[in-house]
Amino acid sequence: MAETSGTSGNETLLFLTDDQLRKGIEAMFFAYRGFTADPDRILADKGYGRAHHRAIHFINRSPGTTVNNLLSILGVTKQSLNRVLRTLIEDGLVESRVGTRDKRERHLFLTEAGETLESELSTAQRKRMRAAFRQVGPDAVVGFRQVLEAMMDRDMHHHYARLREAGE
């Protein structure tokens, strides 16, 4: 969090041609496909989709999170998330506990089975990320993260930073 503070002086008048920018755009497109490819394969076997993966990931990251909190992270409607959550709960991967302080809220947890799937998915995804990071070296990794952070919307960066706090 220290190194990304503000627009600190590096407004080095860069000549960025449309070509350079377009390469970045296309790289982003093709890389994202690779990024999701391994989890997608695993999920397809079990009858789930990418939406299930996202839910599982962020429930694992913040056990006990509420549906509403999850909604603002995922940026979908509650109705859309609800469908996914319902199947995960029915299948025994996620547990939904009614809030004690506020009974309107549902707090979400992964069951053991849920943690097993989460582990399988994130292991596959980390494996690819690790290979890429190793291939290019630590400086490139820093640059990678800097650009991605600069590309996020403000509120997404907020969620990203809050998750980082917790994990660090």
Partner DNA sequence: ATTTTATGTCAGCCTTGTTGACATTCCAAG
Partner DNA sequence: CTTGGAATGTCAACAAGGCTGACATAAAAT
Nearest to 134 by CA among 149, 147, 144, 148: 144
**Residue 58, SS3 per DSSP:** helix
- Interaction between residue 154 and DNA (CB under 7 A): no
Neighbouring C-beta atoms of residue 76, cutoff 10 Å: 16
Q: Of 8 and 79, which CB lies nearer to DNA in the complex structure?
A: 79
Kindly state whether residue 93 participates in binding DNA, applying the rule CB under 7 A.
no
Distance of alpha carbon 63 from alpha carbon 41, whole angstroms: 25
29 binds DNA (CB under 7 A): no
85 binds, options DNA, a second copy, none, Cβ within 5 to 8 A by partner type: DNA
Please identify, using beta-carbon distances, which residue of 83 and 126 lies nearer to a second copy: 126
Helix (H, G, I), strand (E, B) or coil at 134: helix
Q: Which residues bind DNA (CB under 7 A)?
A: 47-52, 54, 66-68, 71, 75-86, 96, 99, 102-106
